Amino acid sequence: MTTAPIHPIPIPMPAELERATDGREVDPALGLLQGEGAAQRVRTPEPHPGQLAPAQFEGDAKTPTYYGLPVLQEPVWIWTIPVYLFVGGMAGAASALGAASLVAGGPTLERLENRCRALGLGGDVASTVLLVTDLGRPDRFLNMLRVFRPTSPMSMGSWILALSGAANSAGFFFGNRRGPLGAVGRVGIAAGGGLGALLAGYTGVLLANTAVPLWQAARRELPVLFVGSGMASAGAVLELFHDSGASRRVTHWYGTVGKAVALGAMLAMQRSSPRAPRVTESLRTGATGSLWRAGLLLTAAGLLASGLGNKSRARERFAAALTLAGALATRFAVFHAGKRSARDPRATFEGQRAGMGAAELRHPPDPKPAVFKLPVMR
């Protein structure tokens, strides 16, 4: 008995399985715009920059840009940041002076030392409040302390501020006591002095470590400027108190040196990018230029007034007021001039085409990529 051959019955295949694939097996339905978002329409679509009229942008054939649009996103910091730069620099310089008075002054500078401790601690607390105000929530500042990265100025600055506040608190509350607590207080004063010196200058390093053209071009002058301005501000605040003898002389010379250093750094900062004048244009023109000149003139006037003599209390207070106003104006000028340079595309392109920034490295690193041995997970 013979049996008929059995032929397989053809089964219809889905269309998705019949089409040729590229091997990735990507579901095409994932690329469909469905649901509520599919009904959205833009009433006034924004045209491409190339479709805009050339008259809307300032033309400069020597420094071409991408349709005149900014290359960088300007910093989103609010007004509390320049105030933080001012208060933190003053507190750090005061802490450093207090530690130096403890080590070298002895009983003759005890009153100055106590005032420096109070100014340093008050400045640390105010700096923390200003920084948290910019961040929006206190837990964001605490989250910054979860990372300790020596290569990051922002990470190191957060730790410097936190440790400086702790050291100055120990020095303020236990510095005048005896026994073990007094030893802890003296250690806190010494540690607060070292951390205060870093606190006065790290903000300049932080700004210079960004891509903002002005801050990047003045990366050598900004830390010196902030340290000198912090010394001048601390000396000015201490001169407002009635003092005499060695404390008065130390305060006078401390503030005078700070004002001289700040003035020198400001003059050097104006000439920090001779190959790309556009980078420092925000320090010469407009409202930011006027604010910068005001800071320069006020600081110079404070130095001149303090150099005329230190016998008149009214003259000292007047010089201190000029110095404080100049330091605050300088911080706001640096802050807003940097934001203005970030909005200017020619400041970015001109500096890069002039060989500034990363192109200034005389000995570039090895172009070969680094090889890391990664563990094999089995």
pLDDT tens by residue, 162-217: 999 999 999 999 888 888 888 998 899 999 999 999 999 999 999 999 999 999 99
CA distance linking residue 339 with residue 367, whole number of Å: 33
What band does 94 get if pLDDT is binned at 50, 70 and 90? very high
**Of residues 170 and 102, which shows the higher confidence score?**
170
* Three-state SS at 295: helix
**Least confident piece of the model among 107-121, 168-182, 257-271, 341-355:** 341-355
Spatial separation of the C-alpha atoms in residues 131 and 83, rounded to whole Å? 9
**80-351 to CATH, choices 1.20.1630.10, 3.10.450.50, 1.10.3720.10, 2.102.10.10:** 1.20.1630.10
**Burial of 58: CB neighbours in 10 Å, binned 0-12, 13-18, 19+:** exposed
Measure the CA–CA gap between 140 and 159, rounded to whole angstroms: 13
What integer pLDDT is reported at residue 369 of this predicted model? 47
In the predicted structure, residue 37 carries a pLDDT above the cut 60 = yes
- Residue 63, classified by CB atoms within 10 Å of its CB into exposed (0-12), middle (13-18) or buried (19+), is middle
Q: DSSP string spanning 182-222? A: HHHHHHHHHHHHHHHHHHHHHHHHHHHTSS-HHHHHTTTHH
pLDDT for 224:
96
Handedness of CA 305, 259, 230, 206 (dihedral sign): positive
Tell me the pLDDT tens digit for each residue of 114-148: 899 999 999 999 999 999 999 988 898 999 999 89
- Predicted local distance difference test score (pLDDT) of residue 56: 43
pTM of the predicted model as reported, rounded to 2 decimal places: 0.78
CA distance 91 to 127: 9
Report the alpha-carbon distance of residue 287 to residue 243 in Å, rounded: 39
Q: How far apart are CA 5 and CA 372, in angstroms?
A: 64
Of the two residues 331 and 54, the one the predictor is more confident about is 331
Domain ranges of the chain: 80-351
Q: Tokens 């890069």 label which residue?
A: 352
Lowest mean pLDDT among 26-40, 49-63, 339-353: 49-63
